[in-house]
Every structure is written in structure tokens, then in C-alpha cells.
Structure 1
Amino acid sequence: MQAYFNALTTKFRGRPSTTLPIILNKELSQAFPQMKLKTTKDLQNLQSLAQDIGIWKSLTGRITEFARASSSDEFDAGSR
């Protein structure tokens, strides 16, 4: 993950790539609007949160809830 963020020196035009950090950033910012995963510093902040098992379980649980809710919303919209 650190190598990914260190390599982000140029911006590309066109369709945004779908990478794990981009998806994680989207889900993290939906569950916690004040949090993001766009830089090495953001990654380090998440790593420090992961040191506390209670905080980490709460964080991952909430992200999972948002991901499930958004996927079921997309499924419901597609079946109409």
C-alpha cells in the first residue's frame, strides 16, 4: 500500500482506475466522512487505529454495513 501511494506522482486523464486503495477510500469515506485513504499519512493513521482491536472492529463493522447497504441498493435499482 505504501508503494502505491508513493507512486502517485502523476495524474492520468480518462476513466479512474479501480484499485483496492480507491475502493477502500470510497467505502471508508462513506462510513466515516472525516476519514480518507488517499496518502501515506492516511494509511499510517489507519494503521495506528488498527492497533486498538475495539476501534478496528467498530471501524470494519461499520464499513461492512455501508458496503452491504450500497450493494443491496444497487441490486434493488437494477431489478426495477
Structure 2
Amino acid sequence: MKCSDTPLSLQILKLRWRLFGHILIRDNSIPANFAMLCYFNDNSNRGRGRPTTTLPITLNNDLKRLQNKNVQLTTKEDLHKLQKIASQRQEWIAFTAKIKRTAEAARPDDQASRRQ
């Protein structure tokens, strides 16, 4: 399947996880990794209103589609688990392919509910 045949939302999902994989395998001192660690260390009250949609929240929502309780992104420990997976290239490729397949399988249901 060519990129042009893939719906835009699936292309974005694939690129989002590809970028996140690059971030995870880099040193913890780079700003992107430091920001992720700070995000999970911050326990302050977020205030009233709708929570801000952040990259960790979006990635965790992608992981929720897998319906696998062992893989999520809600704590610093979960981040370290994903770093271990990302350090093994073939395992990371299989992991992200599974996320993409799950999103593709859920896509027709999303379109059918929008038409009604």
C-alpha cells in the first residue's frame, strides 16, 4: 500500500509513533526525553476545564485501542518499558505495526458511526 492510498489519520498515527520511537532511543538528556520525564514527574493540579491534549495522552489513547493492560503510557515506568521496546528495532517495528493494524481495523467502525 502506498502512502497516498493510506488515509491521512493513519499516516499521522504512523509518523507519530515513528517520531516517538526516535525520541525513546536517544539519550535522556535531549530536550524531548527530558520533557517526557518532566511530564510524568509533574503531579501538580492541572486546574479546571478540559485537560490539554498532549503527546503522552494521544499516545496513551493509541495504546488503549490495543486493549492490552500491560502496555500503556501513564507513568514514568511505562515510559521506561516503551524505551526498552524501542531499543530493540525489530520488536519496535512489530509493536508499531500492531498499533497501526488496530487503528485500521477500528477505522471502518468510526466512519460508519459518523454517517449516521
User: Shorter-chain-normalised TM-score: which range?
Assistant: 0.7 to 0.9
Aligned partner of 1:8 in structure 2 is 43
Match of 1:30 among 65, 72, 84: 65
Give the alignment's Cα RMSD to 1 decimal.
Answer: 1.9
Q: Residue 37 of structure 1: CA displacement?
A: 0.4
Aligned partner of 1:18 in structure 2 is 53
Aligned partner of 2:7 in structure 1 is none
Alignment gaps of 5+ in structure 1: none
Secondary structure, in 3 states, of the residue corresponding to 2:71?
coil
Larger Rg belongs to: 2
* TM-score normalized with structure 2 length: 0.58
Number of equivalenced pairs = 80
Aligned partner of 1:41 in structure 2 is 77
* TM-score normalized with structure 1 length: 0.79
Aligned partner of 1:75 in structure 2 is 111
- Which one scores higher on RCO, CA 8 angstroms, separation ≥ 6? 2
Q: Percent same amino acid among aligned pairs?
A: 36
Q: Residue 13 of structure 1: CA displacement?
A: 4.3
